[in-house]
């Protein structure tokens, strides 16, 4: 405990202790403060709290020792965080980088500053480097920078919370929009909502919003809309009519496939040669194709035939694009790209 702890801080810590324990004694609190607060000061603080109408009750116990309890209906005391809750808070804090440079990012830092005040004294020690991303870091290549879209983001967020119609300028178009949710996907932030003119659910990339005007007109959010259900048949966010997909992965990349949840419909089957076959009922979107191509020569699409043909055509185009060596690529760089690093990087 800090020796320069204020009376307010001491009072709050006593209240936390009372809220967490059935009953406490002055000696319990003396130990709680590691002997750095006198018993007389603890007794005086308890009397001051009681005088301030905090419902603290005292009863005589063994050896004529007073035992203090807090009336259970009095539940306005901030709870301290357990070690597990603190770890969860630290992990979530890493996502604040998504909103770096915006007022929302500043608000997130303020929230976590307040969370730090709820840490149990002497129970959880969190190094500054841990909170700063030194030991746990959220990495997302291609993450959208939102610094210049702060005003639009604030307006969208206000529209979501207050269910207010927004007039948006998106790329070269301008229309009314009912904002429902924010969606973070592959480093980009989208706002999901309804375009009332067409009565369609659409995605708008926040970094492509030119202007957002929040109107005074409220809208009625569709009570049956669920973003989770809306995305259920997609491999990502872009919708295609779902089909049965079968993809074979060889033994090299098998460890990177079988222990992850790629889609709620997935089922894994042994291929018989050390590889596996991944079954999914999902839309064959460009996002799915990009993910398949990510695995290079270690993957084969078995079904449907249309997706297999799309992958074959794309692979042929890639081969044509890389058929000749460009003169402006240094020879040493070409040798590096042909090294054995690729095999190590497949286990991701």
CB 265 within 8 A of CB 257: no
Same domain, 183 and 235: no
Average pLDDT over residues 42-67: 85
- At 337, the pLDDT band (50, 70, 90 cuts) reads very low
Average pLDDT over residues 55-72: 82
Query: Distance (Å, rounded) from C-alpha 254 to C-alpha 78?
Result: 47
Query: Distance (Å, rounded) from C-alpha 187 to C-alpha 177?
Result: 23
| 138 falls within a domain | no
| 295 falls within a domain | yes
| 140 falls within a domain | no
Same domain, 241 and 255: yes
For the ranges 62-71, 127-136, 186-195, 339-348, which has the lowest average pLDDT? 339-348
Same domain, 184 and 268: no
For 177-220, write each residue's pLDDT tens digit. 999 998 888 888 899 999 999 999 999 999 999 999 999 999 99
Q: What pLDDT score was predicted for residue 122?
A: 46
| Residue 213 backbone phi and psi in degrees, to 5 | -120, 120
The CATH number given to whatever domain includes residue 159 is: 2.30.30
Q: Which of 285, 326, 291 is nearest to 307 (CA)?
A: 285
* Of 183, 206, 230, the domain-final residue: 230
Q: Which of 59, 80, 63 is nearest to 14 (CA)?
A: 80
| 2 falls within a domain | no
Higher pLDDT, 327 or 232: 232
- % the chain with pLDDT above 90: 41
In our burial notation (b when 16+ CB lie closer than 10 A, e otherwise), range 21-30 reads eeebbbeebb
Query: Distance (Å, rounded) from C-alpha 192 to C-alpha 227?
Result: 8
Same domain, 224 and 289: no
Query: Distance (Å, rounded) from C-alpha 191 to C-alpha 184?
Result: 9
Q: Which two tokens stand for residue 16?
A: 């936390």
Q: Which two tokens stand for residue 92?
A: 């979530």
Boundaries of domain holding 117: 83-131
Same domain, 39 and 120: no
Same domain, 125 and 97: yes
Same domain, 113 and 180: no
Q: Which two tokens stand for residue 233?
A: 């048949």
* Of 230, 256, 276, the domain-final residue: 230
Looking up tokens 């084969």, which residue turns up? Answer: 300
Query: Distance (Å, rounded) from C-alpha 156 to C-alpha 262?
Result: 30
DSSP states of 243-257 = EEEEEEE-TTTHHHH
Predicted confidence (pLDDT) at residue 16 exceeds the cutoff of 70: yes
| 341 falls within a domain | yes
Average pLDDT over residues 102-131: 60
Q: What pLDDT score was predicted for residue 92?
A: 66
Query: Distance (Å, rounded) from C-alpha 125 to C-alpha 136?
Result: 15
Same domain, 310 and 335: yes
Same domain, 235 and 348: yes
Q: Which of 230, 227, 177, 235 is nearest to 206 (CA)?
A: 177
The CATH number given to whatever domain includes residue 52 is: 1.10.10.10
Distances (CA, A) of 106 to 110, 153, 185: 6, 13, 22
- Considering the chain, what is the average pLDDT of its residues? 81
* Of 188, 203, 230, the domain-final residue: 230
- At 52, the pLDDT band (50, 70, 90 cuts) reads confident
Same domain, 200 and 237: no
Query: Distance (Å, rounded) from C-alpha 310 to C-alpha 323?
Result: 20
Q: Give the burial class of 193: count Cβ atoms within 10 A of its Cβ; 0-12 exposed, 13-18 middle, 19 or more buried.
A: buried
Q: Is the dihedral of CA 129, 134, 137, 141 positive or negative?
A: positive
Total domain count, the chain: 4
DSSP summary character for residue 54: -
- % the chain with pLDDT above 70: 76
Strand order in the sheet with 243-249: 267-270, 276-282, 243-249, 299-303
Tell me how many degrees the CA angle 42-43-45 measures, rounded to the nearest 5. Answer: 65
Same domain, 164 and 179: yes
Q: Which of 225, 215, 163, 173 is nearest to 197 (CA)?
A: 173
| 77 falls within a domain | no
Same domain, 156 and 201: yes
Predicted confidence (pLDDT) at residue 77 exceeds the cutoff of 60: no
Bridge partner residues of 267 (DSSP):
279
Coil, strand or helix at 198:
coil
Q: Give the burial class of 80: count Cβ atoms within 10 A of its Cβ; 0-12 exposed, 13-18 middle, 19 or more buried.
A: buried
Tell me how many degrees the CA angle 283-255-341 measures, rounded to the nearest 5. Answer: 100
Q: What pLDDT score was predicted for residue 265?
A: 95
């Amino acid at each position: 405990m800090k020796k320069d702890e204020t009376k307010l801080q001491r009072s709050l810590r006593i209240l936390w202790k009372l809220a967490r324990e059935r009953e406490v004694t002055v000696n319990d609190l003396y130990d709680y403060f590691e002997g750095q607060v006198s018993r007389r000061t603890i007794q005086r603080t308890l009397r001051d709290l009681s005088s301030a109408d905090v419902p603290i009750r005292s009863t005589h116990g063994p050896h004529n020792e007073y035992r203090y309890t807090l009336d259970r209906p009095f539940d306005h005391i901030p709870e301290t965080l357990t070690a597990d809750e603190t770890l969860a808070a630290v992990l979530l804090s890493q996502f604040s980088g998504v909103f770096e440079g915006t007022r929302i990012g500043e608000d997130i830092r303020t929230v976590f500053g307040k969370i730090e005040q709820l840490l149990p004294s002497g129970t959880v020690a969190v190094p500054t480097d841990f909170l700063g991303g030194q030991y746990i870091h959220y990495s997302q290549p291609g993450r959208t920078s939102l610094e210049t879209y702060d005003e639009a983001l604030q307006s969208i967020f206000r529209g979501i919370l207050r269910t207010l119609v927004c007039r948006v300028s998106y790329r070269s178009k301008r229309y009314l929009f009912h904002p429902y949710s924010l969606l973070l996907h592959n480093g980009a932030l989208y706002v999901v909502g309804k375009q009332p003119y067409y009565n369609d659910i659409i995605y708008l990339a926040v970094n492509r919003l030119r202007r957002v005007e929040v109107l005074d007109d409220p809208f009625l959010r569709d009570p049956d809309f669920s973003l989770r259900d809306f995305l259920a048949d997609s491999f990502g966010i872009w919708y295609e009519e779902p089909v049965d997909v079968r993809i074979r992965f060889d033994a090299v990349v098998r460890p990177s496939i079988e222990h992850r949840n790629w889609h709620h419909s997935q089922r894994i089957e042994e291929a018989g040669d050390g590889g596996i076959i991944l079954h999914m009922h999902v839309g064959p979107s460009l996002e799915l194709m990009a993910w398949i191509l990510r695995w290079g020569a270690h993957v084969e699409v078995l079904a449907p035939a249309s997706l297999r043909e799309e992958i074959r055509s794309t692979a042929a185009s890639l081969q044509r694009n890389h058929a000749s060596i460009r003169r402006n690529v240094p020879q040493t760089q070409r040798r590096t790209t042909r090294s054995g690093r690729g095999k190590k990087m497949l286990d991701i």
